[in-house]
A and B are shown apart, each in its own frame.
Chain A
Amino acid sequence: MPRKRDVSSDDVGIEIDGDLSDSDDGATQRRTNRRQAAGRGGARARGRGKKPASEDEDEDDEEDEAPRGRRGANKKKPAKKRGGGDDDDSEDEAPKRKRGGAANKKKGGKAQDSDDEDSDAGKGKKGKKGGKKGGKDEEEDSKGKKGDSKGKDKGKDKDNDKKKKKKKDDSSSDSNSNSDEEEESMSEGEMARLMEEVEEKKKLIATIRNKPWRMKRRLTHLKEAQQFVDKFEGALGKGKGRKWYAYKVMMTKKWIKFQRDFENFRTACIPWERKIKEVESHFGSSVASYFIFLRWMYGMNLVLFGFTFGLVVIPEVLMGLPYGSIPRKTVPRAEQATAQDYSVLMDFNGYCKYSVLFYGFYNNQRTIGLLKFRLPLSYLMVGIGTFGYSLMVVIRTMAKNADVGGGDGDEGEFTFAWKMFTSWDYLIGNSETADNKYASITTSFKESIVDEQENQKDENIHLRRFLRLLANVLITCSLGGSGYLIYFVVKRSQEFASRDDLSWYEKNELEIIMSLLGLVCPPLFETIAELEDYHPRIALKWQLGRIFALFLGNLYTFLFALFDEVNTKLEEEESIKNASIWAMKEYYANYTRLLNDTESTPPPMDPSDVIRGPCWETAVGVEFVKLTVSDIQVSYLTILIGDFARAVIVRFLNYCWCWDLEAGFPSYGEFDISGNVLGLVFNQGMIWMGAFYAPGLVGINVLRLLSSMYYQCWAVMATNVPHERVFKASKSNNFYMGLLLLILFLSLLPVVYTIMTLPPSFDCGPFSGKPKMFDVIMETIELDLPAFLGTLFSYAANPGLIIPAVLLMVLAIYYLNSVSEAYQNSNMELKKKMQMARDEEKNRRNNTDSTNQVMKDLEDLLPNRSLAPPAPPEPEKGPEQEAKPTKMKPGSAGKGVNLQKDVALASPNPNVRGPVNRAPGPRGPGGMPGPGPGPGPGPGRGRGRGRGRGPPPR
């Protein structure tokens, strides 16, 4: 029963809501039915004398709920009242009921009209309910009739109010008399209903902070709701339930608090949030986006570091053979003299080269230590896992960012409005920052204005297009030129490699050309990009892409040189391998010959004396580490000299210089976003490529990122000035991520190539002695896993299985791609529809928001001038309030045309009633609870609506 009731009350909500449309027929009918059935049921009333009154109130509640219902799910009706002894509440309801009453009336009229249509259907269904309603129905009916007669001219609020007053009196007296019996004879249904009300109260308590009410009103409501809950939940739970309920409440509270604390803790855990915010407030989100990217990188590298050190380096240090035990872990005798020299160590030779930092140090023992840790397997897995994890993280982040980016897809729709209302950051509390913010807002407005004007003019679009084309041609030319130059130089250097008589220039030609290109090209590109006249954000992307392409040449030459070196080392190794074996044999032969004793086993050769191969893996690792370290040095020095020294000079020489250094030529440096981002990206590429050969590289990189976070934050704050055009970074920095992904892919190729095809060195590293590195997996499958798994793997590795799998993946990609396209299309469609709906709504909006709860709350929040010492007149307020009630009726009429007229008719009213609004008198205790007779509706409906709900007058 209560369930049904609930449903019907919802319907009522919709009914009023949908007054305009014809779609509410069903609801109207339902109501009609109920009323009809009630009439019938009155005859066979079951003698539950006290019922009608409470039922009556319920009816009111439903009416009250109506306007609120439209507020949506989160704004639940705050105060549902129960007959028994909750006078405060019912008083409090007064203003609301008034409104409800009005609606009711209207409905009454309407209902009567449609009475005949469908009275039969509901009889059976509602009969029972009707039975209880006997007494009330008479009133309701009469009211309905009255409403019918009067309903059509809406201006007569007087009647409604009278009625309401009457009703209210009835209900309050009834409830008083009934309150005693109430508790004893609670039926199941009532219990459930009560429970629901309590639930609703609780919901109110939970959401009260979300209500746009004044604090005083909120506190009052809260108190009422709490009292109500306290009063009734005990009755519901019958002792035990109360305890359980209290426990539940407590737990919910605790849980919420825990969540809050956890959330705070989580935000507090995000490192450098404040630092980045500070940078952002001074330099705009574009510079901050670099630091955010840097932080993200740091997080990712930290995980890689954890893997590498946790699964490779630390096990080796703890359980592996110590230094000096075998040849690969010992410095060769020839190098021992200089092994500890600073310059040698700085080149990562000597002791550095024969340490856990590099590939060569690891032994090919299958298991080490007591735990039988399979180090070679772990080494390979970590090497591959590094790439797997990085790929996964990069792609996931990109997807997530794309998701975020999708949200503001309709950017441009509200450019100016958003700029105006959301650009000021209320967090700014520093005057310098505030000044910057003012400047940046002004700039951004100017930018948008220029854009807008350009949009409107659009005259030199052809020139612009031509210039852009020209710029791209120029840049393509210079990229092609530099690419050819690099190619040429690399070829030449190969020639030089075979010669001995080289001048200094010829020896270093490659490096010199590369650094010259890196020095000249980016500014050149920037200059050319001026032609294009893009928005700086887009310009940054272009710039990034172009410099990236340029640097790919760098990468290419580097890898080229590296593979050259590896190949020569591999050749060298063949011969040394033979020599080494031969030397070993000779040593044993000599030993036996010298001692003349074939029985005794000779002591092993001193590890430092063993002839060993070049160990190309370690050489590659050293190369990468050297490169990374020199990169760190160069970038730090650049900041120190290019930014810091410049800033110092500009700042202090300015006092004694002929022109203004700060505003004139050198001025302060700007933060070079594209250079820094690309530096970071390429550095990460180095790490990915080198990590397999030098596990220690990841650790170095973590240190680098950590220090550069602080160093660059300091440098940017201390020495740089904001960009001339402070621009907003794009929401998703997916462009950076895209570059990173590309680099990741590029660096994946050489590593995978070496793992799959090149033979590992015969005497160093965890894979020594095996023809290929990945044989360690085969070995594990064969030796450690049960036999059937081995066969399973061999099946899985079968081309017959792999090719279909690849095909399947391709198909899946195709399918997903088309699905996403379809979604995109439907997205566009929906957007269009939304736009259309918005357009359609334009006219209707005026009408429908009349009962909008938010508007009421908003009005309620208007300053109450009567509280201020001087009360200046506020003429605007009147029309708004008065327009509301009138708007309801045109709704029922269902014609937009009438509406306009009604509004026009209503508008004179405020002027008449204006003064009444302001005077506190009529709103006094007499006025409120029973809405006053004659002129009452004015204040009652106006501001009094809210205030009346606040402190209950009685």
Chain B
Amino acid sequence: MGNKQTIFTDEQLDAYQDCTFFTRKEILRLHGRYHELAPHLVPMDYTKDPDCKLPLALIVNMPELKENPFRNRIVESFSEDGMGNLSFNEFVDMFSVLSEMAPRELKAIYAFKIYDFNVDNYLCKEDLEKTLNKLTKEELTPEEVELVCQKAIEEADLDGDNKLSFADFENMITRAPDFLSTFHIRI
């Protein structure tokens, strides 16, 4: 960090380290990646907490996200305005939650948000259909989609309101054997 110019103060780095699952080096690398996305927009000096946000279109094109069918949702979920504009804080936050070290509970919360396409804090059938179509590139017939969504809701819905609340989702996802291994991005 030192030899060219200071991107972060030591306190900032420590704070980031406490708040995320990253090491100092990784945070600096993340800043590098963030900077790389829009070199003319992102300042190299973050000591003064500049207000700078990158639009969704730029972030979604990162190689880590490019192939992900949920990339737009991921970015949107982590942006404070819900439109996918990410400040560096949110950017770090995103990769921290998606890192390997993040605990299951935390990941579950954000996974829920990601799959909640219409942002109503419930996964309703509509959300599930969107999820499924994204997963399969719409190769299933409408009847199959209908069946799968119906079954998924049946399986996980505990309170019988025909949509999944977070409690339902958490209950389901904490037992999923693959959730932790698949819900992470290495950066």
Chain A interface residues (CB < 8 Å from chain B): 74, 205, 208-212, 214-216, 218-219, 222-223, 257, 260, 407-408, 410-411, 413-418, 420-431, 433-434, 438, 441-442, 445-446, 448-449, 452-453, 731, 838, 841-843, 845-846, 849, 852, 854-855, 857-859, 861-865, 867-868, 874, 876-877, 880
Given contacts A212-B106, A418-B172, is CB(A845)–CB(B158) below 8 Å? Answer: yes
Closest Cβ–Cβ distance, residue B73 to chain A (whole Å) = 12
Closest Cβ–Cβ distance, residue B144 to chain A (whole Å): 5
Q: Are B93's CB and A215's CB within 8 A?
A: yes
With A and B bound together, what is the CA distance between A921 and B45 in angstroms? Answer: 32
Which residues of the other chain, A, contact B185 by a CB distance below 8 angstroms?
426-427
Which residues of B are found within 8 Å of A410, using beta-carbon distances? 175
**How far is B182's CA from A260's CA once the two chains are assembled, in angstroms?**
20
The answer to whether B135 and A424 touch across the interface, beta carbons within 8 angstroms, is yes
The one of B23, B113, B136, B166 that contacts A855, using a Cβ cutoff of 8 Å: B166
B15 touches A223 (CB 8 A): yes
> Is there contact, CB below 8 Å, between A422 and B176?
yes
- Docked Cα-Cα span, A893 to B184, in Å, equals 44
User: Does the CB pair A212–B179 fall under 8 Å?
Assistant: no
Closest to B68 in A: A426
Known contacts A214-B93, A426-B185, A858-B166; is-contact A418 B20 (Cβ 8 Å): no
**Chain A interface, DSSP helix/strand/loop, else mixed:** helix
Q: Verify B140–A446 contact, CB threshold 8 A.
A: yes
Q: List 24 A-B contacts (CB under 8 A).
A: A214-B93, A222-B19, A414-B175, A415-B155, A416-B151, A420-B131, A421-B176, A422-B176, A424-B68, A424-B135, A429-B66, A429-B67, A430-B67, A438-B135, A438-B137, A445-B148, A449-B140, A449-B144, A731-B177, A842-B158, A858-B109, A862-B121, A865-B82, A876-B120
Asked whether, in the complex, the Cβ of B82 is within 8 Å of the Cβ of A417, the reply is no
Q: For residue A857, which residues in chain B have a CB less than 8 angstroms away from its CB? A: 109
Q: Whose C-beta in chain A lies nearest to the C-beta of B96? A: A209
Report which of B101, B105, B158, B184 forms a contact with A838, defined as CB distance below 8 A. Answer: B158
- B152 on interface, CB distance cutoff 8 Å: yes
Given the complex, which residues of A lie within 8 Å of B181, measured CB to CB? 425
- Closest A residue, CB atoms, query B123: A421
* Chain B residues, CB < 8 A from A425: 181-182
By Cβ-Cβ distance, the 7 closest A-B pairs, closest first, are: A863-B82, A215-B89, A868-B81, A876-B120, A434-B67, A867-B81, A416-B152
B:162-180 near A, CB below 8 Å: 165-167, 169-173, 175-179
A861 to B110, CA, bound (A): 9
Measured between beta carbons, the chain B residues less than 8 angstroms from A862 are 82, 119, 121
Q: Is B186 an interface residue (CB 8 A)?
A: yes
Q: In the complex, which residues of chain A have a beta carbon less than 8 angstroms from the beta carbon of B89?
A: 214-216, 219
Nearest CB in chain A to that of B184: its residue: A426
Contacting residue for B178 out of A212, A423, A438, A448, CB 8 A: A423
- The answer to whether A423 and B159 touch (CB under 8 A), given A434-B67, A438-B136, is no
Contact A429 B64 (CB under 8 A): yes
Which residues of chain B come closer than 8 Å to A422, judged between CB atoms? 173, 176, 178-179, 182-183
- B153 shortest CB reach to chain A, Å: 8
Contact A408 B177 (CB under 8 A): yes
Q: How far is the CA of A386 from the CA of B106 in the complex (A)?
A: 46
Query: A298 CA to B171 CA in the complex, in Å?
Result: 39
Are A426 and B63 in contact, CB atoms less than 8 angstroms apart? no
B80 within 8 A of A: yes
B90 interface neighbour in A214, A420, A426, Cβ under 8 Å:
A214
Are A421 and B158 neighbours in the complex by a CB distance under 8 Å?
no
Q: A423-B178, A863-B80, A867-B80 are in contact. List 12 more A-B contacts (CB 8 A).
A: A208-B19, A210-B103, A215-B92, A222-B18, A407-B177, A422-B173, A423-B135, A445-B136, A446-B140, A854-B170, A865-B82, A868-B82
Query: In the complex, how many angstroms separate the beta carbon of A676 from the nearest chain B beta carbon?
Result: 24
B162 to chain A, nearest CB (A): 13
Chain A residue at minimal CB-CB distance from B94: A215
Across the interface, name the chain B residue whose C-beta is closest to A456. B147
Question: Do B19 and A215 have beta carbons less than 8 Å apart?
Answer: yes
Chain B minimum-CB-distance residue to A413: B155
Contacts of B113 in A (CB 8 A): 858, 861
Q: Judge if B117 is at the interface, Cβ distance under 8 Å.
A: no
- Tell which of B19, B98, B135, B156 touches A414, judged by Cβ atoms closer than 8 Å: B156
Q: How far is the CB of B95 from chain A (nearest CB, A)?
A: 11
- For A442, the closest partner residue in chain B by CB is B136
A416 / chain B contacts, CB cutoff of 8 Å: 148, 151-152, 155
Q: Please tell me if the beta carbons of B152 and A420 are within 8 angstroms of each other in the complex.
A: yes
Most B-side CB within 10 Å, residue of A212, A426, A852: A426
Point out the residues of chain B lying under 8 angstroms from A863, CB to CB: 76, 79-83, 119
Bound form: Cα–Cα A876–B172 in Å: 24
For residue A142, give the distance in angstroms from its CB to the closest CB of chain B: 38
Q: Which residues of A contact B166 (CB under 8 A)?
A: 854-855, 858
**Contact A428–B140 (Cβ < 8 Å):** no
Residues of chain B within 8 A of A421, CB atoms compared: 111, 115, 131, 169, 172-173, 176, 179
The reply to whether A418 and B178 form a contact with Cβ atoms under 8 Å apart is yes
- Distance in angstroms between the alpha carbons of A223 and B12 in the assembled complex: 10
Is B132 an interface position by the 8 A CB rule? Answer: yes
Q: Shortest distance in angstroms between B91's beta carbon and chain A's nearest beta carbon?
A: 9
> Whose C-beta in chain B lies nearest to the C-beta of A412?
B155
Q: Is the CB of B151 within 8 A of A452?
A: yes
The interface residues of chain A lying within 8 Å CB-to-CB of B8 are: none
Residues of chain A within 8 A of B96, CB atoms compared: 209
Query: B105: nearest residue on chain A (CB-CB)?
Result: A210
Task: Give the residues in chain B near A452, CB-CB below 8 Å.
Answer: 147, 151
Q: Does B21 contact A (CB under 8 A)?
A: yes
User: When chains A and B are docked, how far (Å) is the Cα of A421 from the Cα of B183?
Assistant: 9
In the assembly, what is the distance between CA of A208 and CA of B21, in Å? 10
Chain B nearest CB, measured from A398 CB (Å)? 19
Are A427 and B15 CB-contacts (below 8 A) given A210-B106, A838-B158, A854-B109? no
CB within 8 Å of A: which of B40-93? 63-64, 66-70, 76-77, 79-83, 85, 89-90, 92-93
B10 at the interface (CB under 8 A from A): no
Contact B182 A426, beta carbon cutoff 8 Å: yes
Bound-state CA distance A509–B74 (Å) is 66
Closest to A449 in B: B144
Chain A nearest CB from B20 CB (Å) reads: 6
Q: Mark B102-141, 1 if CB is under 8 A from A, else 0.
A: 1101100111110100111100000010011001110110
Query: Contact: A865 with B67, CB < 8 Å?
Result: no
Bound together, the chains give a CA A421 to CA B153 distance in angstroms of 12
- C-alpha gap A587/B76 in the complex (Å): 96
A211: chain B residues at CB < 8 Å are: 106
Min C-beta distance of A837 to chain B, whole Å: 11
- Contact among A219, A428, A445, A731 with B67 in the assembled complex (CB-CB below 8 Å): A428
The interface centre, meaning the residue of B63, B67, B69, B139 with most chain A CB atoms within 10 A of its CB, is B67
- Bound complex: CA A843 to CA B160 (Å): 8
Which residues from chain A contact B82 at a C-beta distance below 8 Å? Answer: 862-865, 868
Distance from A250 Cβ to chain B, minimum over Cβ atoms (Å): 12
> What residue of chain B has the Cβ atom nearest to residue A257's Cβ?
B23
Contact A446 B144 (CB under 8 A): yes
